[in-house]
Amino acid sequence: MDGTGLAISLAKAGFVAFLLLNAVPLLVWLERRGAAFIQDRIGPNRTSIAGFALAGLVQPLADVVKFMFKEDFVPPSANRTFYLLAPIITLIPALMTFAVVPFADVVRIGERLVQMQVADLNVGILYVFAIASLGVYGVVLAGWASNNKYSFLGSVRASAQMISYELSMGLSVLGLVMVFGTLQLDDMVRAQGARLFGVLPLWGIVLQPLGFLLFVISVFAETNRLPFDLAESEAELVVGYHTEYSSMKFATFFMAEYIAMTTGAALIVSLFLGGWQVPFVSSETLNGWTADLLGPGAGSWLAALIQFGSFSAKLGFFLWLFIWVRWTLPRFRYDQLMRLGWKVMLPLALANLLVTAAVLLVIDGAAGR
Amino acid sequence: MDGTQVAFYLLAGLAVATSVLVVTGRNPVASLLFLVLSFFCLAGLFVTLEAHFLAAIQILVYAGAILVLFLFVIMLLNLGQGEPGLGLPSVPVLALSALSGLAFVALLVFTVREADIAPITPARIEAVDLAGQATVGSTEAIGTALFRDFLLPFEVTSLLLLVAMVGAVVLAKRER
Amino acid sequence: MSEYVPIVALLLIGVLLGVGLLGISALLGPNRPGGSKGAPYECGLIPLTDARNRFDVKFYLVAMLFILFDIEVVFLYPWAVLYRRLGVLGFVEMLVFLSILLVGFAYVWKKGALEWEA
């Protein structure tokens, strides 16, 4: 890799980190205002800077300031090293998984074609699962190091839940992998630009409706969001594994959760909803229009911007879905959760896999491949 | 030295250092975390060898699954407080350890001497995988090897997994 | 290999950010330990035992089964990527592999290892 290439790829990594970090206060705002809206309240709207409350958007800012000046407290009975390490360990994988998600088509910089994706790895989606599987450590360590019974119970529950749903998450995307014949998300998004009968966008959700459903449920479970938030369950475990955490240490857990949620939604969008594809307008057509307007260089930027907008809109919808579901559904009981994971999701995902395999065999056989 | 070599020495050094910390540490949880780090470095080493699939699996299966089980065991047995230390093992144990260590070193030396460890260049890759690519270590290349050239071992693996499944249930599930 | 460089960059950003955030708290926040503040939170009750009790072996069983199924899934990935190029042979291969494992799954189910209530 030459100097310019290195600079570009580092810039992309920085951009993604910046994006994810800024998504956090926005999501906090959306969560609180959304909850208020669903419960027919107003929600936070008083905090203001020089009279501007920005519909409550200043509130997360005030929260951050409060977190910073809170007492930096470590329970004396806790295991200090692991107690402090846990939030960091939770944050790192959350930040890293977004790396393989593409957010726009190729952009032209001079002679160079730059992929709008931090890293186009051969193992693609497997990288996401690999790094995400490390998220368990932060939760377990936090609960274990806190020396609090609620925390410990919460973390043990959470880890069993996370590993159980990891299976159905991994299995549910296999159907798509079979159809597209690749693990690379960029190739998958590109393949979803095709049309069914020349009309309907051939998105993953059309090809794999059951896979989509299973994957979305698994993402909810993996991010510990309601109805799968048994790790936290305010009423019985007093927020579980981070009961003993305060100040920025608590905020770090919070950030990691929202970043993981964003990445989860981005994965759903990229796998099943065409990622950055603009519905009904192929990337070639779009690039043709913008190139006529601004020339090939700047045109590719405009096209990428439009595609990024399309990606963000879909992402926004799913982030809203996370919040919507949280304030609508009650929590599962633990035995129900485990039964759903092992006795419903896992067999369904396996059945989906075999049916997809059989159908593909027939289709490819008919096409004479 | 090019980038690959720098990465190799860095990762190899870290892998060795963390492995040493795994066995010398008093606290089992700390040991486990060092082992996770060590596996991470190992995955990095696989990447420097262009073995991308193996690198992902190293993290997914070893760091993300097997070590989670280890962590469960440590917590289950409540070992996490740090053990007082068991002192030096007895002489026969030490002798046996030394012997097996030496045998392993001998095996390693023999293997390295026999092995063809010249860098893999596109020209050296004889077989093209099913995706029509001449690569090693990619998911496609691994798949081609597994499902075309080593079919029987692959199928036998399922028997191994079956036995392990039965074993897990027999061990951990009480009959009522 | 160079495609992993930005991933290392993200890793470093994560480490720096995590340490930085905790550092901010340590620097700006007051630190006044002492009193019953240090006791583990148990809704006002005084904790009698250490929190790190032994827990149910069921969790252990779930972790073991997870590893086994995880390995199975891992085998499925390269297969799925190549599936349309492997043709009928690929289908039969995986059918054999999965049927053997489904026997195991049925056994685990039948033995009640997936029951959580008991």
Q: Is the pLDDT of residue B130 over 70?
A: no
Shared-domain flag, residues C73 and C113: yes
One-letter amino acid of A107: V
User: Could you tell me how far CA A348 lies from the centroid of its own chain?
Assistant: 23
pLDDT tens digits for range A303-330 = 888 989 999 999 999 999 999 998 888 8
A117-121, B107-111, B114-118, C94-98: the lowest-pLDDT one: B114-118
CA dihedral A53, A57, A63, A66 (to 10 degrees): -40
Shared-domain flag, residues C91 and C53: yes
Nearest to A131 by CA among B57, B53, B22, B72: B57
B161-B167-B173 Cα angle (round to 5): 130
A163 at B interface, C-beta within 8 A: yes
Helices (H) and strands (E) in chain B, counts: 7, 0
Shared-domain flag, residues C19 and C59: no
Q: CA A50, CA A151: separation in Å to the nearest integer?
A: 41
Q: Find the DSSP H helices in C5-56.
A: 5-28
User: Max CA-CA distance within chain B?
Assistant: 64
Shared-domain flag, residues C81 and C23: no
Q: Mean pLDDT of all residues in chain A?
A: 86
The 3-state DSSP class for residue A72 equals coil
State the average pLDDT over residues A26-31.
90
Q: Which of A137, A153, A157 to mutate to test the interface with B (most CBs of B within 10 A)?
A: A137
Q: Which residue of C has its CA nearest to B77?
A: C54
Nearest to C114 by CA among C77, C70, C61, C67: C61
The residue written with tokens 């069921």 in the block is: C58
Q: What is the DSSP letter of A78?
A: S
Give the residue with greater pLDDT, A369 vs A131: A131
**What pLDDT is recorded for position B87?**
62
**What pLDDT is recorded for position B59?**
92
The 3-state DSSP class for residue A106 equals strand
CA pseudo-torsion sign A73, A76, A81, A87: negative
One-letter amino acid of A167: L
Residue C7 lies in a domain: yes
Q: Is the pLDDT of residue B106 over 90?
A: yes
Percent of chain C with pLDDT strictly greater than 90: 13
Q: Is the pLDDT of residue A369 over 60?
A: no
**What pLDDT is recorded for position A191?**
86
Q: Which residue of A has its CA nearest to B63?
A: A134
For chain B, which domains are there? 1-82 (1.20.120.1200), 122-176 (no CATH)
Q: Give residue C94's domain range.
A: 49-118
C99 at A interface, C-beta within 8 A: no
pLDDT tens digits for range A209-254 = 999 999 999 999 888 887 887 766 666 666 677 777 888 888 898 8
Q: Is there a contact between A5 and C6 (Cβ–Cβ < 8 Å)? A: no
Give the residue with greater pLDDT, B81 vs A221: A221
- Most confidently predicted of A213-222, B43-52, B69-78: A213-222
Nearest to C66 by CA among B168, B55, B153, B59: B168
Q: Is the pLDDT of residue A351 over 80?
A: yes
In order, the DSSP letters of A218-254 are HHHHHTT-TTS-TTT-HHHHTTGGGTT--HHHHHHHH
Q: Is there a contact between A130 and B39 (Cβ–Cβ < 8 Å)? A: no
B37 at A interface, C-beta within 8 A: no
Shared-domain flag, residues C109 and C55: yes
Q: Is there a contact between A34 and A6 (Cβ–Cβ < 8 Å)? A: no
Q: Is the pLDDT of residue B13 over 90?
A: yes
Option in A9, A69, A89 nearest C29 (CB): A69
- Whole-structure pTM value: 0.89
Q: Is the pLDDT of residue A163 over 80?
A: yes
Q: Which of B37, B68, B135 to mutate to test the interface with A (most CBs of A within 10 A)?
A: B68
Contacts of A170 in chain C (CB under 8 A): 70, 73
Residue C11 lies in a domain: yes
Domain at C95, CATH number: 1.20.58.1610
The CA distance from B159 to the nearest CA of chain C, in Å, is 7
**What pLDDT is recorded for position B36?**
92
User: Could you tell me how far CA A54 lies from the centroid of its own chain?
Assistant: 26
Mark B103-142 as b/e (b = at least 16 C-beta within 10 Å): eeeeeeeeeeeeeeeeeeeeeeeeeebbbeeebbbbbbbb
Give the residue with greater pLDDT, A142 vs B88: A142
State the average pLDDT over residues C13-34.
86
Q: Is there a contact between C61 and B170 (Cβ–Cβ < 8 Å)? A: no
- Partners of chain A (3+ Cβ pairs below 8 A): B, C
Q: CA A129, CA A112: separation in Å to the nearest integer?
A: 31
State the average pLDDT over residues C35-42.
73
**What pLDDT is recorded for position A210?**
93
Q: pLDDT confidence of B125, banded at 50, 70, 90?
A: low
Cβ count near A237 (within 10 Å): 24
Q: Is the pLDDT of residue A28 over 60?
A: yes
Q: Is the pLDDT of residue B176 over 60?
A: no
Kindly list the domain boundaries of chain A, sorted by start residue: 73-366
A81 at B interface, C-beta within 8 A: yes
Shared-domain flag, residues C18 and C57: no
**What pLDDT is recorded for position A368?**
65
Q: Is there a contact between A317 and A260 (Cβ–Cβ < 8 Å)? A: no
As a whole number of Å, the end-to-end CA separation of chain B is 64
**What pLDDT is recorded for position B81?**
56
Residue C42 lies in a domain: no
- Cα A174 to Cα A78, A125, C77: the distances in Å are 42, 10, 7
The 3-state DSSP class for residue A353 equals helix
pLDDT tens digits for range A172-207 = 999 999 988 888 898 888 888 877 776 778 888 888
Q: CA A273, CA A146: separation in Å to the nearest integer?
A: 41
Q: Is the pLDDT of residue B7 over 90?
A: no
Q: What is the DSSP letter of A340?
A: I
Q: pLDDT confidence of B121, banded at 50, 70, 90?
A: low
A102: left (phi over 0), alpha (psi -120 to 50) or beta: beta
**What pLDDT is recorded for position A124?**
86
Q: Is there a contact between B140 and C82 (Cβ–Cβ < 8 Å)? A: yes
Q: Which of A64, A214, A241, A247 to mutate to test the interface with C (most CBs of C within 10 A)?
A: A247
Residues comprising chain B, all counted: 176
Cβ count near A195 (within 10 Å): 12
pLDDT tens digits for range A5-22 = 888 888 888 999 999 998
**What pLDDT is recorded for position B154?**
87
B134 at C interface, C-beta within 8 A: no
Q: CA A219, CA A263: separation in Å to the nearest integer?
A: 10
